[in-house]
Amino acid sequence: MSERSDRVADLKKRLQALVHAADLPWKRERLLMFDAQIAEPIFWDKPDEAAKTNQDRTRVAEEIDELDKLTNALSDTGELLEMAEEEGDDDDLGVIDSEMAGLEKSISGIEFRRMLSGEHDPASAYVQIKPGAGGTESMDWAGMLYRMITRYADRKSWKVTILEFQEGEEAGVQSATLQIDGDYAYGHLKAETGVHRLVRISPFDSSARRHTSFAAISVTPQIDDSITIEINDADLRVDTYRSSGSGGQHVNKTDSAIRLTHIPTGTVVACQEERSQHKNRAKAMKMLTAKLYALEEQKKRSEADAIAGDKGEINFGSQIRSYVLQPYQMVKDLRTGHEVSQPQAVLDGDLDGFIEAYLLAQANI
């Protein structure tokens, strides 16, 4: 068997594993069920439920179509390879090499998505960024992380909405909360939850000394509205303040921004996106619900870990990654050991290597 034939056989084996894991017969039945629901005359009587059903139907149909197309393409490539090798046609072999490279990329992409199998991985995400102790240094670092996350979202063509943004006193960010909408946004961005450490020559130090700064990123999923988290009004402290803006006619001159503090847990969320205090409160409550749900999930995981033994899980508040700009250039993830020597690329949003390493490590736990 030739090297090319071995490669096709390996791709077929990997694809068969994906097809088996996807349980296509069940998904084809589910697709028929969705189509029957959508054909009902009363389907659009409940627009929110109908929209979710349509979204679920599209996702199932796309998965079936993708795997079917890959299966057919790989079968065709295998047959063409046999003929080309028998005839010794170098031109056809070159085309087949290119096709196999494309198929391998597609299969690797599906394998990567299979690692995003958590309950909330497909969801959009809330991302909160806060500086640690250290004043201007840490606020500037938080601003750099804010830019890094938004650049990464841009690379993925995800929609970014600024829910809350408080500028630093001299530079950077005091606090920022983003809503990032996109398929599997939470599944990817959850890898960024934790404390990020920066080492550099400070631009704010006239003596050009090296400083270490810390800032934290917290990522929670936008949970389904059908999940109920009870929040008692008596457990909430509600603060209103004036939204910050870019100046001119767009500055909100009323106290429309909302900050909610859940007193029993100390959880704080804020929203200033809307001009209406009522709308800001509604969005803040949704964020608070997501954070409280995430806390409950974290409690369950901690209890399970206490029974099963420590698996080395990194919780929020732990240092997860170091970014060194001086005296050398390196970014290293302390959970996975993944490192690169181009910190500027990472700060420009090139996070795929770190996120993939994290997901692989979690899949092997």
Contact 361, 313 (CB under 8 A): no
Same domain? 186 vs 250: yes
Angstrom distance (rounded) from CA 193 to CA 299: 16
Same domain? 160 vs 106: no
Same domain? 89 vs 22: yes
Contact 124, 186 (CB under 8 A): yes
If the chain, 365 residues long, is cut into consecutive pieces of 10 residues, what is the mean pLDDT of each piece?
Answer: 88 92 92 95 91 92 95 94 85 89 90 81 92 89 97 96 90 93 93 94 84 92 70 90 55 74 93 88 90 78 46 53 94 96 97 92 73
Q: Which residues contact 12 (CB under 8 A, 6 or more apart)?
A: 74, 78
Q: Answer whether residue 61 is part of any domain.
A: yes
Contact 315, 216 (CB under 8 A): no
At 249 the pLDDT is: 42
Contact 132, 214 (CB under 8 A): yes
Q: Answer whether residue 120 is part of any domain.
A: no
Q: How many structural domains compose the chain?
A: 2
DSSP state of 335: T
Same domain? 256 vs 293: yes
Q: Could you say which of 94, 114, 134 is where a domain stops?
A: 114
Q: Answer whether residue 34 is part of any domain.
A: yes
Q: Which residues contact 339 (CB under 8 A, 6 or more apart)?
A: 330, 331, 332, 333
Same domain? 102 vs 129: no
Q: Could you say which of 77, 95, 114 is where a domain stops?
A: 114
Angstrom distance (rounded) from CA 244 to CA 73: 54
Q: Which residue has the tokens 């909408």?
A: 181
Same domain? 198 vs 84: no
At 300 the pLDDT is: 60
Q: Answer whether residue 238 is part of any domain.
A: yes
CATH number, domain of 271, equals 3.30.70.1660
- Residues 99/100/105/106 CA torsion (nearest 10 deg): 70
Q: Could you say which of 79, 114, 149 is where a domain stops?
A: 114
Q: Among residues 185, 181, 173, which one has the least CA distance to residue 146? A: 173
Same domain? 26 vs 81: yes
Same domain? 357 vs 269: yes
At 122 the pLDDT is: 87
Whether the full predicted model's pTM is greater than 0.85, yes or no, is no
Q: Is 248 helix (H, G, I), strand (E, B) or coil?
A: helix
| Structural domain of 225 | 125-363
Strands 194-201 and 319-324: parallel
Same domain? 164 vs 22: no
Q: Answer whether residue 331 is part of any domain.
A: yes
Same domain? 95 vs 142: no
Angstrom distance (rounded) from CA 192 to CA 320: 8
CATH number, domain of 37, equals 1.20.58.410
Contact 121, 186 (CB under 8 A): yes
Structure tokens at 80: 């063409």
Q: Answer whether residue 226 is part of any domain.
A: yes
At 207 the pLDDT is: 83
Structure tokens at 189: 């961005």
Same domain? 252 vs 311: yes
- Please report which residue ranges of the chain form alpha helices under DSSP H: 3-22, 24-39, 47-87, 90-114, 136-155, 185-189, 277-308, 343-347, 352-363
At 120 the pLDDT is: 84
Q: What is the largest CA-CA distance in the chain?
A: 80
Q: Answer whether residue 311 is part of any domain.
A: yes
Same domain? 219 vs 93: no
Measured CA angle at 128 (ends 122, 129), to 5 deg:
130
Contact 360, 335 (CB under 8 A): no
At 245 the pLDDT is: 52
Q: Answer whether residue 119 is part of any domain.
A: no
Contact 352, 331 (CB under 8 A): no
Angstrom distance (rounded) from CA 10 to CA 7: 5
CA contacts within 13 A on the Cβ side of 211: 19
Angstrom distance (rounded) from CA 286 to CA 289: 5
